[in-house]
Amino acid sequence: MKKIAQLLKMGLPMIFIFAYAPDANGQFLKKLGKRAEKAAERAVERRVEKEATEKTDQVLDSILEPGSQEEKQKKNPVPNETSTKGPSGNGQNTDTNDPGGSTEPMSTDNPKTISVYSKFDFVPGDNQLFFDDFSNDFIGDFPSKWNTNGSGEVVTINQGTEKWFALVPGYSTYYVPDIPSLPEEYTIEFDVMATGLDKKTASTAILRVILTDDNLFKKGNFASVDIPFCQYHPIGFHVRNQRGDINNNIQGDIRQDVINQPHVSIAVNKERFRLWVNEKKYVDIPRMIPTATPPTSLKFEVINFKDGKERLFLKNLKAAEGGVDLRRKLITEGKISTNGILFDSGSSNIQPQSMGIIRQISQVLAQEKGMNLKIVGHTDSEGDDSTNMQLSEKRAEAVKNTLVTIYNVAADRLATAGKGESEPVGDNSTAEGKAQNRRVEFIKQ
pLDDT surpassing 50 at residue 87 = no
The dihedral sign for the CA sequence 166, 319, 299, 196:
negative
pLDDT surpassing 70 at residue 193 = yes
Phi, psi of 325 (to 5 degrees): -70, 115
Per-residue pLDDT band for 158 (boundaries 50, 70, 90) equals confident
pLDDT given at position 17: 46
**Residue range 200-247, pLDDT digits in tens:** 999 999 999 999 999 999 889 999 999 999 999 999 999 999 999 999
Per-residue pLDDT band for 117 (boundaries 50, 70, 90) equals confident
pLDDT surpassing 80 at residue 335 = yes
Per-residue pLDDT band for 382 (boundaries 50, 70, 90) equals very high
How many Cβ atoms from other residues are within 10 Å of residue 379's Cβ?
Answer: 27
Of 39-48, 77-86, 171-180, 269-278, the range with the lowest mean pLDDT is 77-86
Per-residue pLDDT band for 128 (boundaries 50, 70, 90) equals confident
Please give the single-letter amino acid code of residue 55.
Answer: K
How many Cβ atoms from other residues are within 10 Å of residue 343's Cβ?
Answer: 20
Q: Of how many residues is the chain composed?
A: 445
Q: How far is CA 301 from CA 124, 149, 157, 165, 232, in A?
A: 23, 11, 21, 13, 22
Residue % of the chain over a pLDDT of 70: 74
pLDDT given at position 292: 87
| Mean of the per-residue pLDDT values of the chain | 81
Per-residue pLDDT band for 417 (boundaries 50, 70, 90) equals very high
Element (H, E) at 187: strand 185-195
The whole-angstrom distance between residue 411's C-alpha and the CA centroid of its chain comes to 36
pLDDT surpassing 50 at residue 76 = no
The dihedral sign for the CA sequence 211, 216, 221, 225:
positive
Rounded to whole angstroms, the Cα distance separating 66 from 233 reads 10
